[in-house]
Copies of this chain bind each other. A is one copy, B any other.
Amino acid sequence: MTGPDGDRKVRAATWFEELRDRLVAAFETIEAEGSGADPAGRFERTPWRREGGGGGVMALLHGRVLEKAGVNVSTVEGTFSEEFRRRIPGAAEDPRFWASGISVVVHPRSPLVPAAHMNTRMIVTTRAWFGGGADMTPVFADEDDTRAFHAALEAACAGHPSADYPRFKQGCDEYFYLPHRGEARGVGGIFFDELDSGNWESDFAFVRDVGEAFLDVYPRLIRRHMHAPWSDEQRRAQLVKRGRYVEFNLLYDRGTLFGLKTGGNPEAILMSLPPEVAWP
C-alpha cells in the first residue's frame, strides 16, 4: 500500500473492514432476535490469500433469519493480463493494479424478507476510482420497502457533489437486468463505477455514506417482515426467484466474471449465490 495513493489505500481498506465489522454485528443482532428452535447464526471468518498478492476474509453466516449472509472484504494487488489491460481505465500505460472492497449479499430464509446486495470498492491503476452500489431483490415487492430502500440511497447521495442519484439509480436498473428473461433482477437501488470526480475526499465520503445507508435501512426492512409466517407456496416462489439471481450473476455480473477470469477465489466470489435454488 505504498506509492502516492498509499494513505488513501489504507483509509479505504480500513473503512471496508470497519463497515464489515458493523454489518456482521448488525446481522448477528438480527439473528439473536429471531425465533424458532434453531440457534442464532454467527459469522464464520475464513481468511484467504491471493496468488499474486493480497487476499481477503470471507465472513459467512447460516442463520435462522438469514439463511445465508456473506460479507467479504478483500485487498489485492497484481498485474492485469493483456486482455484486461485494454479494458481497464489507466491500465494500458501500466498493468499493475490495487483493489480493495467490501461485498455483502444476504439471502433471508423468509420469502417475505427481501434479499439484498451492497458492494463498494476502490481501484487503483495509473488512475484511481470508486465503484459500487446497493440493490434489493424481494420475491414479492412491497411498496413501502421499495420506497424506504430508494429513499435511503437517495439520502446517501444528497449533499455529495460526487453523487448523481438519478443517474446512479438508472444505472442500477440497467445493470441488474436479465435480457434473456426480459426481467429485472430486483427493484433496483444505485450502481456507479469509475467514480472519480477529481476530489478523492469527496468521493470517499460518498462511498462511506452508501455503506452507512445500507447498514441503516436494510436491517430495518428485515425486521419489518422477519416474524411474519409464510406458506410453502411463497417459499417455492422464493427458490425460483433465486434461480434468476443465479442466472444474472453467472451470465452477466461483471464482478463475478472478472473475478473468476482473473484467478480470484471462487468460494469468495460465488458466496453471492443463494443457499437453495430451484429450476422447476
Contacts and interface: CB of A to CB of B under 8 A. Distances in A.
Contacts of A181: 266
Contact of A279 (B180, B260, B274): B274
A251 interface: yes
A280 interface: yes
Contacts of A275: 278-280
A237 interface: no
A276 interface: yes
Given A250-B247, A260-B251, A276 B276 contact: yes
Interface string A47-80: 0000000000000001000001000000000000
Contacts of A276: 239, 276-278
Interface in A254-280: 257, 260-261, 266, 269-270, 273-280
Interface residues of A, number: 24
Contact of A277 (B68, B251, B260, B279): B279
A89 interface: no
User: 8 closest pairs, A vs B, by CB?
Assistant: A250-B250, A273-B279, A180-B260, A277-B277, A180-B266, A250-B251, A276-B278, A181-B266
30 contacts: A62-B280, A68-B279, A68-B280, A180-B260, A180-B261, A180-B266, A180-B269, A181-B266, A239-B276, A243-B273, A246-B246, A246-B250, A246-B277, A247-B250, A247-B270, A250-B250, A250-B251, A251-B251, A251-B260, A270-B279, A273-B279, A274-B279, A275-B278, A275-B279, A275-B280, A276-B276, A276-B278, A277-B277, A277-B278, A277-B279
Interface of A: 62, 68, 180-181, 239, 243, 246-247, 250-251, 257, 260-261, 266, 269-270, 273-280
